[in-house]
Amino acid sequence: MNDVIGIDLVDNVNLRIECDMSQAFELKEFFSCYVPNYKYNPKYKARIWDGKISFFNVHDRTLPIGLLRFIKPFLVKYDYKIH
């Protein structure tokens, strides 16, 4: 398993995180949160949606640049290094 993560600037809004697939799913879980009142949403009640939104896109591995300051706690939690 690769313990190095690369961060590149895509544009003024997004960062691209260079990582393997397992790290991408860890990033998705770390940068996810429950929507307020998700339990009352019809999609949640129908078990179509889990009530979370994710700010990390696993497919193109982008993250909004405003969340850059939260990368360090992620790196510390999972013991990764930045390239």
Sorted by where each begins, the domain ranges of the chain are 4-82
Q: In this predicted structure, what is the pLDDT of residue 71?
A: 93
For helices 21-30 and 71-78, the axis angle rounded to 10 degrees is 120
For tokens 């998705």, what's the residue? 28
Q: In this predicted structure, what is the pLDDT of residue 64?
A: 97
Q: In this predicted structure, what is the pLDDT of residue 1?
A: 56
Write the CATH number of the domain with boundaries 4-82.
3.30.780.20
Q: Which residues of the chain have pLDDT under 50?
A: none
**pLDDT tens figures, 28-51:** 999 999 999 999 999 999 999 999
Contact call for residues 7 and 69 (beta carbons, < 8 A): no
Q: In this predicted structure, what is the pLDDT of residue 83?
A: 82
